[in-house]
Structure 1
Amino acid sequence: GYVLVRVNLNPALAPTAAEVAAITGKDQKLSKERLMAVILCILLITCVMGSIYGGIASVTESAGVGVIGALFVAAVRNQMKWSILQEALAGTMSTVGTIIWLILGAVSFVGIFNLVGGGDFMRSLFLDLGLPPLGTILVMMAILVVLGTFMEWIAIVFITVPVFAPVVKELAPALGLDPTWAAVWFGILFVMNIQIYFLSPPFGPACFWLKSVAPKDVTLQEIFISVLPFIALQIIGLALVMMFPQIALWLPQALGS
């Protein structure tokens, strides 16, 4: 919605293909090759998401579906090369290794944390702040925002969820929610907060990914400035879901019933 409003107010922000071609001198028409690439991408996404929502595969198993689909797409586009597969395998091993070490560290941290009574201490600390329930949730969200400026999201998940989740369930009656649905609601808030992490400087992984594919004359500073409205929209959405939990819960509750 924001993009549509901005483009309608200032059409120069989204020039047509003909206008881009006139400026760059490059043909911007949708060729058969580009059309095929779009169709294959849509097909791949449909297969992965369809396997999940169709009950065919779990979330983890759907990743395997995505790998098979990606190999199929590479074969169709004549890009099935050993160098590409080797790079993909190396990247996968690096990512999986990082995740495994993060999980080991997080599990060890949580185990020791609970062993020394850290869980009970944090629960009593949050509950004794004297804040209303939403105030306590707001403090948690603020902590997540701060952590997101210097920590990986996977580490944030494994470290904070075991600490925050029991507190949220404890606050559920005061929030007017069942403990289970309170956990679902907090999970949605958590994910929305992580989305802010992906955009917010100085880390902002999405900004660095965008810089890697953007034209060379586009600076990282320009990208950081351009994402500020989207960060504001994420914060507004987070605040709305925080104040009105049914925005996030009506669909899961409808499907559950």
Structure 2
Amino acid sequence: MEFFVEYSWAIAMILALVAGVFTGYPVAFLLCGLGIVFAILSGIPLKFMGTVVSKIYAGTLSNWLLLAAPLFIFMGLMLDKSGLAERLLLTLERLCGRLPGGLALSVALLGIIMAASTGIVGASVMLLGVIALPVMIRQGYDPQFATGVTAACGTLGILIPPSIMLVFMGAILQVSIGGLFKGAFIPGLLLGTVYILYILGVGIFSPHRAPVPDRSEIDKIAQRQGNLLVELLLNLVGPLFLIAAVLGSIMIGLATPTEAAGIGAGGALLLALIARKLSFGVMRDVVRDTSKTTAMVIFVMIGAACFSAVFKRLGGDDMIEELFIGTGFGPYGLLLLMMGLIFVMGFFLEWIEISFIVLPLFAPIVTSLDFGFEATRPEMLIWFAVLAAVNMQTSFITPPFGYSLFYLRGVAPPGVTIKTIYRSSVPFVVLQLICLGALVLVPDIVLWLTRV
């Protein structure tokens, strides 16, 4: 009883947040509004709210590392407009088309390549949904399997660097964004490989769900494109150039993430120009969409900063730590509890809200625990951040509010219902959780590249 009395205001804030989320009110305004309302109700001095404003300006709006976010968003949107992904997908269909599950394999490969060169989930999912999903269904693929492959592979961009989520997580946890990129690179490729193995397994053991396509369809593509090797090289040059320029410059320490993002944005402009897709209309649309996406994230950051400042002032961080430590679980038990909470929150919230609300509360607890392996504090935070990133990736494909599922529903062919799309996500959520377990049990998967 004393616990509830001591932390009554903090508990009330959490309950109000949960209730507010289900009203459908924009989360950015909900967070900010709850912070202000509970500050007034609990009698927090007005001077304290002045320090919150200063913190928002100094810690968020003036953080030059966050300049990487709009630049990466611009890069991804410009590549989407260049038509490069569509040409590459057609080439990959020719390359993999005669294999079991070949069309789905080409979608997975394109998802990995686009993730490593764009990092924009919405654009990737809708692109694959428009180009690849109708072809798979026309070739006799099980609609549930085809939609699951499209949604899951399009979502790889949120984990494989350059990921917008990792940029903001680095700012939240005050760790190197380059270190996070290195830490997430191998886990991202691991998850993509697991998807490919699953697709091959379905193609071999359940060929009725992923049949080998009609040769005439592949021959039509071949007639339009010409020599397969030449087309593959031509269509791969652009993405490989961007991957090498952006990730390579960060990995070898030649550029900061912000500088590399500038290189990527310039490279995307160059590719669009070479493809003759660069026009005033395209530039206007890309700049507008970049501004809208960036503004949305900034509003969430401001709201989360206000909410978390008041929540901590009311003892919320002490309450969370007392709750977790009081369970009596060991380090891995507490980590499992944290991951479980993040996973459940992913059913209802987007990664942005989860990151800004939960990570600042959990990070101090994680760094105070002994997991039985040698790691510095920054390495421990990078490991935890990558675990959280893999976990939060599931939020894009978990019903009822998985954003990738809604993106796909908006462009899916007639006859593909939301029920089919919901069911399609289940195997891929399981695969993501298996990969998450591997990262927990073998931390070197995350930390090896950062230490090199």
Q: Give matches, 1:87-166, under 5 Å.
A: 87-166=285-364
Say which SS state the counterpart of residue 57 (structure 1) adopts. Answer: coil
1:31 aligns with 2:225: yes
Superposition TM-score, scaled by structure 1 size: 0.84
Q: Is the 8 A contact 2:350 2:396 kept in 1?
A: no
Q: Is the 8 A contact 1:17 1:28 kept in 2?
A: no
Cα shift at 1:21 = 4.8
Q: 1:202 to 1:112 in 2, by over 3 A?
A: same
Q: Is the 8 A contact 1:169 1:179 kept in 2?
A: no
Higher mean Cα deviation, 114-123 or 133-142? 114-123
Say which SS state the counterpart of residue 368 (structure 2) adopts. Answer: helix
Cα shift at 1:216 = 4.2
AA of the residue aligned to 1:8 = I
Q: Give matches, 1:165-244, under 5 Å.
A: 165-171=363-369, 173=370, 175-178=372-375, 180=377, 181-212=379-410, 214-244=412-442
Q: Find the partner of 1:63 among 238, 245, 261.
A: 261
Cα distance in structure 2, aligned partners of 1:79 and 1:71: 9
Q: 1:248 to 1:49 in 2, by over 3 A?
A: closer
Cα shift at 1:71 = 1.2
Cα distance in structure 1, aligned partners of 2:449 and 2:238: 30
Q: 1:19 to 1:217 in 2, by over 3 A?
A: farther
Measured against aligned partners, the alpha-carbon deviations of 1:148-180 in whole angstroms (never above 9, x if no partner) come to: 112121121111111000111122x25455462
Cα distance in structure 2, aligned partners of 1:81 and 1:37: 21
Q: Is the 8 A contact 2:350 2:395 kept in 1?
A: no
Cα shift at 1:63 = 2.2
Q: Is the 8 A contact 1:18 1:28 kept in 2?
A: no
Higher relative contact order (Cα pairs below 8 Å, separated by 6+ residues) = 2
Q: Is the 8 A contact 2:332 2:371 kept in 1?
A: no
CA RMSD across the alignment: 2.6
Higher mean Cα deviation, 4-13 or 133-142? 4-13
Cα distance in structure 2, aligned partners of 1:199 and 1:19: 34
Structure 1: segments with no counterpart, 5+ residues? none
Match of 2:200 in 1: 4
AA of the residue aligned to 2:319 = F
Q: Share of identical aligned residues, percent?
A: 34
Cα distance in structure 2, aligned partners of 1:251 and 1:45: 17
1:15 aligns with 2:198: no
Say how many residue pairs are matched: 249
Superposition TM-score, scaled by structure 2 size: 0.50
Cα distance in structure 2, aligned partners of 1:226 and 1:194: 18
